[in-house]
Structure 1
Amino acid sequence: MVCTCSASHNTNNYMQTVDHILNIIFPPDEKPKVRQYISGPIDSGTSVKLICSIAGGNPLSTLSWDCPGINSNNSTVNTAVLEVEFTVDKNYNGRNCSCSATHPIATYRPKTRHELVVYFPPGKPNLIMKPEMPWFIGNTTEVQCLSTVGNPESTFEWKTDDIILNVNESELSLGPLTKHDNMKTITCTVSNEFTERQSIVLTSDNTLLNVEYFPDITIDKSPEHIMEGNNATIVCSARGNPVPHVQWFQLDNNITEPQINQSVLHLLNVDRLLDGMIYSCKAMSSSNKFDSLSSEKTTKAIVYYTPNITNLEVLNGQTVSENEAVTLRCEVDSNPASTLTWRFVGNPSILQKQDDVSSSNYIIPKIKCVQMGTYQCQATNRINGTTSIDIKDIVVYVLCK
């Protein structure tokens, strides 16, 4: 404002004026205003510009920032403006940068704060097993994905053998475990908005699951069919964790030495006495955590052999009286069971035929003199397409009236 002092006098037409400009010192009416040049969260590793401004006051206020950086004074005639630019890292998240204003009026000392929101990635995840491996089938356990916290909040993705699991949690529950879970790979990927924008992938190292279980036994032939006189091999394989040792037993006596994963039983020049023999394959593994793990499976030897008539007799004696009942018995040893056929040599037509029997009786209710003579028992079986026969004769004598 200009104040003018005027003087006049009634003589000599005297008129003079003097101007005086008033310089009033006063502070602004408001506090400083702070804004971020690009609003919103800032990615770690990038720069941010903060602008502090305040209008009015005489003289203009002096501005200062408490966050170190490159300062730029862009004040105008009526507005004090001070910018600061600096690069942020995760330690700046939540930090307050304050702009302070000072003025010759000592009572004017306002300060305006601006809180920084910095986005930064979580740390590379690490898998923690609870409890520690090895695990055992049937159990349920947890895998924890540990990662240092990022901003914003992290999301989690789990994979087993590259199959994505629908679980967005830092802890994954697995179970009940099966033997098929053993040796599966498991990984955890941690991400947030920062990693997605920066195309950063944070994945744990692949971890192989160690699930222990009882040996699983497979016998290649069960039962084992063998032709008498031939050789045979029976292979027993076992899969387990830990790796099992496999061994053959017969009547609780070991008949092979223990071998890893597989044992072969050799049967040489097989005799019919082995028919029906039971062989046991045992697989055993030793776990440091779960002690001894064992399984057992049996197989039976079925020996095929040709017919052998072991007994042919007349139960009530070879000499009988006319009209007496006569019973002829034929017993045979064979595998598979034989078909028995009875014939009267004097009349070679079939008297009687019985299928798949080991013994057969032929009964003559009342024998006649014309029925005296030789009777024949024929045993027949078929093995692998080959027919084998054994025949024996017996004579029946009749005391005729």
Structure 2
Amino acid sequence: MKRRQVVLGLAASGVMGCSAPVRVDRTVLWQGINPPSNRQVFLDLVDRFNQSQSEVWVEARYAGQPDQQGPKILAAVVGETVPDLLWYAPALTGRLVELNALRPLDDFWRDSRPDVLPALDSTTIWGDRRWSVPFAVNTVALYHRPSLLEAAGIQTLPRTWPELLTVAKTLSQGDRRGIFLPLGKGEFAVFLWTAFLGSTGGRLVDVQGRPTLHTEGAVRALQLWQDLVAQGSALLSQPERGYEEGDFLAGRVALQISGSWALGFIARQGVDFGVMPLPYDRQPATSLGGENLFLFRSTPAREEAAWKFVEFVLSEPFQTEWAIATGYLPVNRKAIASPRYRQYLASQPAMGVFLEQMNVGNSRPLAPFYPRLSAALGRAIESVLLQRQTPDQALAIAQRTVSALV
């Protein structure tokens, strides 16, 4: 049987997986998996796939940081030099569909029947079609330092927003602040704040696909963050560096909003910590993050070859290995129920908090205008945290900006 090959990466990048025979034609998928330790896990799994069968050969190449890939992807679409597969955040879905670049996956999905969590459909379906599959997922929760809470006389963790305001203020003593908040206009601050919007029952886009930034729920969610700053309870990150854990680890803050991706790193630092669900307003909520796999339009043979690798990524063996090694959450229900993953959860009980949050997760909209919506919302969040505008003022401006562009 002639061997077909699916190549992951940019044509100009160096090969980072095992080499395929030179006689094999190559097709392309771009990926930007970080940190390097996670990338190596992926390369090892690609090698396992390659050795397990003779129909498809996957050669993994690194395409650069995800936040640098957007212009490359859109340029490739316009220049008709698209890859076969793409590893990327699902928020780009609508734009790629609008450009007629993606192959819909409904038939592949129906025939394969992957045992993927239904809660993740919101990251893959736009309109009435499935445009991607989940590769890996993470959720957001609240990390805390038990020793600092105990020293401040706090015996009960905050469950609601009013309790969070009280606890954060109590924890703010001397040079220490209660909570770390992400400052910046970028996607990370938007991603974390979206969990608080979801807790109000609010959405960034309504059921008709229209942006809904200036709502009562959005104002209330942003007011919470401004109140934390105004009462002296929040330490703001350096611009666009809200993901850093240094202040939390050093004890300069006692609470930090972060995701499952940080658990392994924090656990290795030798400090006391715990993880709890985000305090809520009307309902518990979190943000769904992670990356999906997209299949670009090409030829039936190339699309089928690429889908074979997609099936492997969705399988229980891949998802179990990937989740345990990287701190991402499995997208496959069999992986979650597997004895090996249950044993892992027993050794890392904090990961169970992130896993349980998937059922109350909120994904970012897949609409084509989402990048512009995110940029406008990011400016509003930054302005409010810096006390330059009220939430009502900032969100009204963001709403007008996005509505004029849609």
Whether TM exceeds 0.5 here: the answer is no
TM-score, normalising length: structure 2: 0.17
Structure with the largest fraction of helix? 2
Structure with the largest fraction of strand? 1
Query: Which of the pair has more CA radius of gyration?
Result: 1
TM-score, normalising length: structure 1: 0.17
